[in-house]
Chain A
Amino acid sequence: MAYQDIDKVPLIEGDQTFSSIDRIIADVPLQQKRHNKKSWLAPTGVAFIFVNILMVTVGWLLYQGIGIWGNNIPTAWAFDIVNFVWWIGIGHAGTLISAILLLMRQQWRNSINRFSEAMTIFAVMCAGMFPLLHTGRPWVAFYWLFPFPNILGIWPQFKSPLMWDVFAVSTYFTVSLVFWYIGLIPDFATLRDRATNVPAKYVYAFLSLGWRGSAKHWHRYEQAYLLLAGLSTPLVLSVHSIVSFDFAVSVIPGWNTSVFPPYFVAGAVYAGFAMVILLMIPVRKMYGLEEIVTMKHFDWMAKITLATGLIVAYGYSLEVFYGWYSGSKMEHSLLVWRMDFLHQPYSWAYWSLILCNVLIPQMFWSAKARQSWPCLIIVCVSVNIGMWLERFVIIPMSLMNTYLPSSNRMYYPTIWDFSMFFGTVGFFIFMMFLFIRFVPAINVFEIKDLLHKLHREKASKTEEAVATTGGKH
């Protein structure tokens, strides 16, 4: 694709009207026959195979115990927590887009917020599986981790970061789900009104909770939505900060690092945006949404990716600096263990991480690269791999290097570690495709709103460029 001046690309392309937007977006769930094509069935089918692999893995895990994984002493956490942190991070883009960008009145978010919020919810579902299933006795963990008054008179250990995790992740999931659903209500009503199929009409009517579109409804809706956005905003920062506390409060070299909270949050947004770009590219193509999700969106998302990537790179350099500056033999040995590519068996993970997360994303400095599909795909895939490797470098690799060298032992993942991870990837993709099939993937009424604003601005002869930057209205 030829390079375009991004300022000249509008947020909505083509000659759109309210009804054309309805047609483009709302007909995706309403015309179910559109999905009975290979483009939907093939990825959903493949993803469903992985869902089954996930179920088999979880079944075997519950039957045998986590010994089926490669975890050991000293590496008691490995793929399980790596995957947990990775998935939580993926989810972060959704909340950032829906909450923070909403509060900042970034109108361009309207085209992608629904989609990325759904991503958040499914990613948190995937993430949530790991902390529960990685425990030795999930059937007990399920309720002992929640603080409830019991006859034993025992409360959970509130000092434990894992306890904070329980609160952080469950709050995050609940708020994200409610936020997403509230945003869907007007759209469900649109679907209800447009549906010709009677059962679908009933289902969407039920889901729209009696939405009639009255001014009162809109007023209350706007207030609720804003309040929820306000609630979600701190979560963007808090959830991953708390996840990073799992490591930062420990005494393990490589974990005990005070830079972790901001560095984890940046990393989460980084991975999340990369994932949104990665998933949006094919979906937009498949369902003819090119006019609503335009190159402008990709260009801007790529810029955010680059910015957060630089924060993450700064975090890496700080880790190395403090490792050296601490003067601690233990920290030095950790640096050697991570970085000495001649002698240390897992140093490839560290250097691949630097390649994927620091070097390759520098491509985004170029506007041409930001607008090239292959570049976008390559960088986003490498960022997601890189972020996974980052957690691998932090979690199992720090554990393998212990204070008493006698305990240093190697960790090797087993086939079940991989099947659990790819199983959740399959689950995530499966849920995303179900979502696209049954729920409007783009916010219909917000696009209409945006269209209205754009038209009004055009009509009032305001400079077009002002409107498209979305800064004022």
Chain B
Amino acid sequence: METTTPTPKPKLDLDKVQERLANAKGRQYWRGLEEIAETQEFQAWMDDEFPNRESLKGIDRRTLLKYMGASLALAGLSGCRGLFLPQTKVVPYVRAPEELVYGKPLFYASIYTQGGYAKGILVEQHEGRPTKIEGNPDHPASLGATDPFMQASILTLYDPDRTQNVTQQGDISTWETYIRAAQQALADAQGNGTSVRILTENITSPSLGAEIKRFLAANPNSQWHQWEATSQDNLTKGAIQAFGKPIHTYYDFKPAKVVVSLDAEYLMSMPGSLRYSRDVADGRRIQGKSGTMNRLYAFESMPTITGTFGDHRFATRASDIETVARAIAASVGVSGATSTGKLPVSQTTIDAVVKDLQANKGASIVLAGQHQPAVVHQLCHSINAALGNAGKTVMYTEPLEVQPVVQQDSLSQLVTDMNAGKVSALFILGANPVYTAPSDFKFSEALSKVKFRVQHSLYDDETGGQCEWHLPEAHYLEVWGDAKAYDGTVSVQQPLIQPLFEGKSYAEMLAAVRGAMTTSYDLVRSALMTGADSKAFEKEWRRWLNSGVANVPKAATISVTPSGSIPAQTPPPAGDEIVFQLDPTVWDGRFANNSWLQELPKPLTKVVWDNVVHMSPGTAKRLGNLADEDTVELTYNGQTIRGAAWVLPGHPDNSFTVHLGYGRTRGGTVCEGMADENLGGEVKREPWGFNAYALRTSKAMNIDGGVTVKGVGGYTQTATTQIHHTMKGYDIVRSGDLDQFGKDPSLKPSDAEDVTELQKQDLYPDQVFAYNGPQWGMTVDLNMCTGCNACVTACQAENNIPTVGKLQVKKSREMHWLRIDRYYVTEENADENNLANPETVFQPMMCVNCEKAPCEPVCPVAATVHSHEGLNQMVYNRCVGTRYCSNNCPYKVRRFNFLNFSDNQEQFNTQVPPAAREPKTHGIELLRMLNNPDVTVRGRGIMEKCTYCVQRINEARIEGKKLGRDPMDGEIITACQQACPTKTIVFGNIADPKSEVTKWRNDPRAYRVLEDLQTRPRTSYLAKLRNPNPEIKA
């Protein structure tokens, strides 16, 4: 190619330029020094229309063609991505893993960790994409069951609001930059003699513990603090007071005949709750005409599923529980347990309970809730020792935490040091102390005095907003890890997918700062490895991964006797009482960005998306006839908050329970609350509920007196999924005492319609259900149902059920296929005591698959039809959305997509204006990955409902067909059945006389809801039983 020599640039006369500029008047605009110098060349260049034509002239035709040809060829090369250019798209397996069959899910054992304690899970994975969490039957903390948190954790994996990048003061940065900065900060701290701190939550993980210890060893000026809003401080302190050291306690409910709960929600909120639920339920499961049941007493303040499940529930103010504990302790012979308080129940009641306990020595449990003061826990240890329960039903082990501390003191020390300027670097791993720390600590103020502030967590929350560095934490399905279960069993957390974003585990992060670029896999393996890395260990390791339980020696049970003397009773706080409790759905606030949990009805109140101020009907009356949703003002310790009142039967008088975890202001689109659209352009978010942490001080973390509550007029809009609480005398839930059951095992109400008589009156010949081939049916044992909501969330996860947001729930459009109805049962001529603390029953209600389904004949397009196996099917493609089927459904179990709920996988978007969700739109794609590929995603305008998990039935049928047989009994497990910790739900072939479901269906307690309508439901319910102590009057 010929080149043209550029004409030499004329020399610029700088003097001339300066002269001109000096003489210039006013503001001058110039394009270059040449212009000011007014050179001839510049003038020529200016006047020329194509000043660069000289260089163009240099290109001849051939060159031009060569360039053009080359450009075309190179442009075409971009189509060859994947051949030799880097491939950016995902490709299918070239050589698929051996066990992979397209369309067949694979299951991997792993663990889910909450509050530091592990529960075993099996994760369903479709072509590399985790879609569903199931319990691991081999894991002692799960036994195959799940709780709602485990189910909903899969949504967090795909949550587009999760922190995606390393950020420094809000700007995207890289891990490398951060590691350099962290190492520099550590070196600086070493240099100037200041201190480095790590703040974590509860940790039982051996690998993370080892890594933290390595970090502490490498940085002698460092300290480790722990803080968890759900702290077990009272348990720890109680154990120290009783045994002199922080012994860990867990229970074995299997042999327990009598359980006394002192405000302990052992069926829901303890690390071993899933296992406890199973064991407690097994102790009262009755099949046939007779049987025995354990007896559960509960003294509790806020009504919980534990109290309502049992046989006796005494509404007791939280601050009176200690008096009850002392009275029981004194009666069983614990010295020094004398009480000065006034018993909230009669002495005869206590005597009867104690008599029952003493009759079951070694087979009873007395346990206290974690929000009860240390002394109550100490009393429980003494009572259990006196009853000979220790080692039989109450187990003691060395502490499971890596380093058990009293977390409140630990955090307090950190705050003091930060305020004193001693701390120059703080690594916050997971915790959100700005939001959860006691309000008098003023954590956020203290934090601002630290120079190098790092938060490593799933969400950029309130704490993240005040940290210089924010690091994305890998979701537990993305990295290796390990943790101990409630009983000390060690399990490996096995990842299912590469981190979706840039997340790393805490251990990986600490190792990287230490300078070791190891992976979480190596860290976990080395922490659990006892000997050298050998082939034998590899084999063992694989076995651990397969079973989900690591065969490393777990903490052995030890035998201890409580030796500490019981301190004298401090008088209970005066005035009205306030109790801070964990929220049953968003926990301490950590699940606030999880719309499944936000929209999960709270077991007792059925409130969604909000927390409320719970009070008893008596107290509400005293405060001027307050009703649900009335705005009340809570004044406590000089702080004031406003919230919605909620009148809850069964709540003790003069006591107010508030749930923590709401009023979040940062941490994702879902948790930040409802957008106020009236502000034209600018989006103001109104947080869900109120922040109860603002009232909580270190003086009284759980229970205190001196709160004033008053109605201030007006309403606080609160959404609830159930507004009627009684059965209006209809025969919906049957229940009865054990001795009633002995007389009439059907527990049928006297005024129930005679259904057989009705069937005889039918004009038409009986529709033929010849029961050829399998006929699907289900039984729900109401005696087993605790109302824990696990099935509701499991159903949501299995069936791609969208959430709809608070406003839509308020309009009664929630989509849950399975709901748990809660009814209060009051006897005829009930006295006031019975009305204030009524018997509560739960009834899981989903499509009962009527044999004569009223929904079927009314659908004009035949979109809901019966299958030959007795399923009432929904043909989504066919549905035009007349909603007639729902109108004609007596059970109201059908759900309608009034808006485009499922496509807007941001789900809550109906209440978030576009401006607020704009940056997140790509998140919709991410959330779609969550969907179960076996279940149709329903668009707007379509009716949907439970079909007994027909996709699972079909899968089993296909498998059976290959082997030339029908599905076997127990082969098909519905999602709700699988999640249920108490085995309430049984599903199977009712045409098979030997099947489990047939046995339950023919049980004397079995009945069909609304049977007198002749719909012939395939779901049977079994009456609820109670085993009250005859010596205690209800």
Contacts and interface: CB of A to CB of B under 8 A. Distances in A.
A and B interact: yes
A408 B723 contact: yes
Interface in A125-147: 131, 134-138, 140-141, 144-145
B859 interface: yes
30 contacts: A65-B897, A65-B898, A65-B899, A65-B941, A71-B883, A136-B879, A136-B882, A137-B940, A141-B882, A145-B861, A156-B861, A156-B862, A157-B858, A157-B862, A160-B857, A162-B858, A162-B860, A251-B1015, A330-B730, A333-B728, A403-B730, A403-B892, A404-B732, A404-B891, A405-B732, A405-B823, A406-B722, A406-B821, A406-B843, A408-B723
Given A135-B882, A162-B882, A250-B887, A410 B896 contact: no
A67 B942 CA distance: 12
A76 B886 contact: yes
Contact of A403 (B822, B862, B1010): B1010
A163 B732 CA distance: 33
Query: 4 closest A-B pairs (Cβ-Cβ)?
Result: A136-B881, A136-B941, A67-B898, A67-B899
Nearest to A414: B811
Given A77-B883, A157-B858, A409-B812, 16 more contacts: A67-B910, A73-B886, A76-B886, A144-B861, A145-B861, A154-B862, A157-B857, A160-B857, A162-B859, A166-B860, A251-B1015, A403-B892, A404-B891, A405-B725, A406-B843, A409-B723
B882 A134 contact: yes
Contacts of B706: none
Nearest to B731: A329
B860 A136 contact: no
B880 interface: yes
A406 B886 contact: no
A144 B880 contact: yes
Interface in A56-86: 64-67, 70-77
A137 B941 contact: yes
B899 A145 contact: no
Interface in B967-1026: 1009-1010, 1013, 1015
Interface string A165-191: 110000000000000000000000000
Interface in B549-585: none
A65 B940 contact: yes
A144 B941 CA distance: 15
Given A64-B899, A250-B888, A136 B861 contact: no
A227 interface: no
B341 interface: no
Of residues A75, A134, A250, A252, which shows the largest number of chain B Cβ atoms within 10 Å of its Cβ? Answer: A250
Contact of B724 (A66, A249, A408): A408
Contacts of B887: 74, 76-77, 250, 252, 255, 399
A161 interface: yes
Interface in A257-274: none
A405 B728 contact: yes
Given A73-B812, A409-B723, A329 B890 contact: no
B886 to A, nearest CB: 5
B697 interface: no
Contacts of A233: none
Interface of A: 64-67, 70-77, 131, 134-138, 140-141, 144-145, 154-157, 159-163, 165-166, 246, 249-252, 255, 329-330, 333, 399, 402-412
Contacts of B941: 65-66, 135-137
Given A65-B941, A157-B861, A409-B812, A137 B728 contact: no
Nearest to A165: B860
B86 to A, nearest CB: 42
Contacts of A136: 879-883, 896-898, 940-943
A77 B898 CA distance: 12
Nearest to B730: A329
B860 A156 contact: yes
Interface residues on B, range: 35 or more
Given A73-B896, A74-B892, A329-B729, A404 B881 contact: no
Contacts of A161: 858
B532 to A, nearest CB: 61
A406 B812 CA distance: 12
Of residues A72, A246, A329, which shows the largest number of chain B Cβ atoms within 10 Å of its Cβ? Answer: A72
A329 B728 contact: yes
A75 B1013 CA distance: 20
A330 B888 CA distance: 15
Nearest to B822: A406
B898 A71 contact: yes
Contacts of A70: 811
Interface in B833-857: 843, 845, 854, 856-857
Interface in B311-368: none
Contacts of B231: none
B413 interface: no
B730 A135 contact: no
B880 A72 contact: no
Of residues A131, A160, A330, which shows the largest number of chain B Cβ atoms within 10 Å of its Cβ? Answer: A160
B184 interface: no
A407 B892 contact: yes
A435 B878 CA distance: 40
B1012 to A, nearest CB: 9
Contact of B890 (A137, A138, A163, A403): A403
B285 interface: no
B900 A65 contact: yes
Nearest to B821: A406
Interface string B515-534: 00000000000000000000
A148 to B, nearest CB: 13
Contacts of B725: 405
A73 B809 CA distance: 10
A242 to B, nearest CB: 13
Given A73-B895, A402-B890, A406-B822, A135 B880 contact: yes
A131 to B, nearest CB: 8
B520 to A, nearest CB: 45
B813 interface: yes
A408 B883 CA distance: 17
B174 interface: no
A410 B813 CA distance: 11
